[in-house]
Chain A
């Protein structure tokens, strides 16, 4: 075996559920020691891809390896290298947090005092010590996710799959999850993360694959992708509807691009290549005596990314996810 550079290398992955191709000749190369983001809408094939890479689903085509070990023919070795945290917490609802960790520690070969030490350490670092003896029925969504992730880290795996780790979490818990993920990579793990949020991929991932209908439609660093997608937008709402046209001319000359004017709503919208232009725009509006009641800058949404990369909105690909879950 020549020195493999990839934590994950997948070529031409295919998975079909009935007549539906959930994953369609998907290629992926994940460098060691990074967070790799897989970005896509519901039903794009993200979960199916992770399940194949994590040996949970057989491949219908193509090849995939984890640190050089083939997922199809060397599944037991692959399982020793990965931790999987699914979209839905994969822990025992009827058991307490500590009982869950106890079972998983034992399945990883720990015995005696080592179980207590390991469980304590994980409960502590995931802020679950106080709730350790409560059954999971009383846990919030965020607590379940944290326990789920804690259980995935018992063996300190070098590769961690996180399937939409923050979907449905409140902003504070989401931030905590992001910190945890950064620490994992800092400690030397490789993380494959799926997400529906461009923002999340942007914050965490050093490289991103955008997938749609089971294929990679774009791949690169966050900046490379944004360059393809285009800039943020500036939205302004004015006090005086009569002056929208005049304001439009000022904004256009300040940001240097075309402005969409909606006088009846007193609104102006313009692409924003450089955030610095906002200051100039506002200063010049003030000089002209035009009052602004509302101002916002929005980043490109996933919808816009999709519109740009695939030529259609992401909502078109909504149904396959249900089929995927039933078949899986």
Chain B
């Protein structure tokens, strides 16, 4: 070991609480851990790499002709739709990852360290932003390869990417709550899918809303995902940001305001 003696327990001056600055830096360290883990277990990234490639191509050629007459005219409406679906699928994994992590011994160590209680949670969700970024880039690239030429230009597409990632991060708190609440990782996955599918499919992602029955249109119109998709379409195809953009952001803020405190409270009870 080392020659230097250990400072005795009684001789130490100790802060009583975690300062805010440390809360932020602890969370960033935990985000860093999430990134190192991604590098070590690249198979975790299948849902944001392989899946967008396959789904984008598959759905374009299946639905394109039927819905828009031909593939080229379907892409402007479809790419934003599949983007939202892909990124949200990526977000839905947040709960499962968190649950698996919490079941491991390493979370015991985090709980015994003098760090902010929220850091392991916040860090994991922050690290996920990289996953959303990968999914977004690949989906846009696939659209471009198939002939999509967004009128909104680089600025519009970039803004759309930022919007969709921000909303995905917000919605990931819903899945995080499932993650800290459910008993097993398998349970988390099941519940996450039950939330994910209505959110993404009961929207304007794939087909025009006016083809749906009236009662369904009612849900589709209040679904924040629909507003995100419309906003992304506006940004990509016209470079404009309108009511739907604001509604999407409002929805995102509301979700965070409701689900983040619930998740943290639930997690603290576990991590205490």
Q: Which residues of A contact B (CB under 8 A)?
A: 4, 7, 32, 54-58, 66-69, 74-77, 79-82, 84, 86, 88-96, 99, 103-104, 106-109, 121, 125, 135, 151-152, 156-159, 180, 183-184, 187-190
The reply to whether B9 and A104 form a contact with Cβ atoms under 8 Å apart is no
User: Which partner residue on chain A sits nearest B14 by CB separation?
Assistant: A77
B26 is an interface residue with CB less than 8 A from chain A: yes
A76 in contact with B1 (CB, 8 Å)? no
Instruction: Tell me whether A93 and B9 are in contact in the complex, defined as CB-CB below 8 angstroms, given that A76-B16, A80-B14, A81-B14 are known contacts.
Output: no
Whether the pair B105, A86 counts as a contact (CB closer than 8 A) is yes
Q: How far is the CA of A84 from the CA of B8 in the complex (A)?
A: 17
Asked if A56 and B32 sit within 8 Å, CB to CB, the answer is no
The answer to whether B108 touches A89 (Cβ under 8 A) is no
Of B15, B32, B105, B110, which one neighbours A106 at CB under 8 angstroms? B32
Residues on B with C-beta less than 8 A from A91 are 105-106, 109
**Closest B residue, CB atoms, query A126:** B1
Question: How many interface residues does chain B have, given as a range?
Answer: 35 or more
Q: Select one of A96, A108, A188 contacting B113, CB under 8 A.
A: A108
In the complex, whether B7 has a CB less than 8 A from a CB of chain A is: yes
The answer to whether B16 and A99 have CB atoms under 8 Å apart is no
B149 touches A (CB below 8 Å): no
In the bound complex, what is the Cα–Cα distance between A327 and B266 (angstroms)?
A: 16
Chain A residues whose CB sits within 8 angstroms of the CB of B110 once the complex forms: 107
Contact between B6 and A156, CB atoms less than 8 A apart: yes
A86 and B113 contact, Cβ closer than 8 Å, known pairs A81-B9, A94-B40: no
How many residue pairs at the A-B interface have CB separations less than 8 Å? 119
- Our pick among A95, A104, A125, A180 for the contact of B36 (Cβ within 8 Å) is A95
Residue of A nearest to B271 (CB): A56
| Chain B min CB distance to A168 (Å) | 14
Contact in complex: B7, A89 (CB < 8 Å): no
Chain B residue nearest to A108 (CB atoms) is B113
A32 to B107, CA, bound (A): 28
Q: How far is the CA of A214 from the CA of B127 in the complex (A)?
A: 42
CB of B112 within 8 A of CB of A106, answer no
User: Mind listing 6 A-B residue pairs with CB under 8 Å?
Assistant: A76-B16, A80-B12, A92-B37, A104-B113, A107-B110, A184-B1
The residue on B at minimum CB distance from A157 is B6
The one of B33, B37, B112 in contact with A56, judged by C-beta atoms closer than 8 angstroms, is B112
Residues in B6-38 with C-beta less than 8 Å from chain A: 6-10, 12, 14-18, 22, 26, 29, 32-33, 36-37
Q: Are A99 and B36 in contact (CB under 8 A)?
A: yes
Interface pair B6/A89, CB less than 8 Å apart: no
In the complex, the answer to whether A4 meets B104 with C-beta atoms within 8 Å is no
